[in-house]
Amino acid sequence: MTPQAREELIALVLDGRPGPLDIATLTRAIAEDADLLRLLRQHLIISEVASQMTAPERSADSFIAGMWQRHLTERDAHVYTARVMSRIRQEGSRRGRAARSFALEIAGMSAAALLLVGLMSLTMRSVAERIPMDRTAQKGSEEAVPRLMDHHLAASDQRRSLE
């Protein structure tokens, strides 16, 4: 391989546009000539340094700023993680308190409803005992129903007859 062909292959690698055939050729040439590997390494180092000097995003200042940013992020990560975990615990305990409060409200409403139904039942039983039964209903019959209107009508008939 001619020195000019070697330089062209190295230039293709440094420009970042080598084809599969060029890479295969360069690999065979490096296997045959150890000097070519040393030359390729030198060119890669020179290319890297030149890139750091000419590209602002690859400058030493950018690198140092990025390292400081990573350091601060990692340092603050512990604080951030502790703060997030504290919020998660608070949210969990708040939800637990809300669930317990809701359960107590339901239990209180249920107890009030049972008390109300019991009082209504006692009141209705007490009223039913005071209201006379329909005279036409047979004794012991399950169809004996209080007839409040009949009672009022009978009372008003008695008043008329007395007058």
What mean pLDDT is predicted for residues 59-76?
82
Residues 96-129 have pLDDT tens digits of: 888 888 888 888 888 888 999 888 888 887 777 7
Residues 30-39 have pLDDT tens digits of: 888 888 889 8
Tell whether the model's pLDDT for residue 151 goes beyond 50: yes
* pTM > 0.85: no
User: Percentage of residues in the chain with pLDDT exceeding 70?
Assistant: 83
What is the band of 64 on the pLDDT scale with cuts at 50, 70, 90?
Answer: confident
Integer Cα distance of 139 and 135 in angstroms: 9
Tell whether the model's pLDDT for residue 143 goes beyond 50: no
Asked which of 1-5, 64-68, 84-88 is least confident by mean pLDDT, the reply is 1-5
| pLDDT score, position 32 | 87
The answer to whether residues 41 and 48 touch, using CB atoms and an 8 Å cutoff, is no
User: How many other CB atoms are found less than 10 A from the CB of residue 142?
Assistant: 7
- Mean pLDDT rounded to a whole number for the chain: 79
Tell whether the model's pLDDT for residue 155 goes beyond 50: yes
Tell whether the model's pLDDT for residue 144 goes beyond 60: no
Lookup: tokens for 79: 């604080």
Lookup: tokens for 104: 């107590």
User: How many other CB atoms are found less than 10 A from the CB of residue 23?
Assistant: 13
From the number of C-beta atoms within 10 Å of its C-beta (0-12, 13-18, 19+), residue 9 rates as buried
